[in-house]
Amino acid sequence: MEKYLYFSEGGGANATTEAAMYPVSSFLGVEPESATTTRIYFKSPMNNDTAAGAVKGDFIEVTHADTHAVAAGHRVRVIAQAMAEACNAGPHADGSSIAVIDVDNSIYLGGIADIIGDASFGITVNLDS
């Protein structure tokens, strides 16, 4: 049975782009967009998957502190590890939804809970539309 990953950005999850849930099989990867933003990519459920011939897809953008020059490393590593944990969640999570970042309910998976104190922390849901 498929597992699903849930994200909400804190707007009450009652309007387009305030929340999203994707099957684990749609997860594409995690990539630093800049020193202060990391993107979590998913295959888009829409038919608009291409933009100028390139796959665009949906992404969750996480804004965080610039930590690339500290011993602990960039926040992208923390976010990538949380995504690996979510995608590989044990049998207790089969067929269920796993809240990765749920700002509305103050739920943060794994090490993400340790970075929510960043002054710039936040997420945006970006749909391929």
- Mean pLDDT estimate for the chain: 84
Place of tokens 């933003």: 37
Q: What is the pTM of this model?
A: 0.85
In a domain, 120, yes or no: no
In order of 26, 27, 42, 43, 111, the CA distances from 75 in angstroms are: 22, 19, 19, 23, 9
In a domain, 71, yes or no: yes
**Domain housing 13:** 4-93
Q: Tell me if 73 sits within 8 A of 67, measured CB to CB.
A: yes
In a domain, 108, yes or no: no
Number of domains in the chain: 1
Position with higher pLDDT, 57 vs 91: 57
Query: Quick one: pLDDT at residue 129?
Result: 57
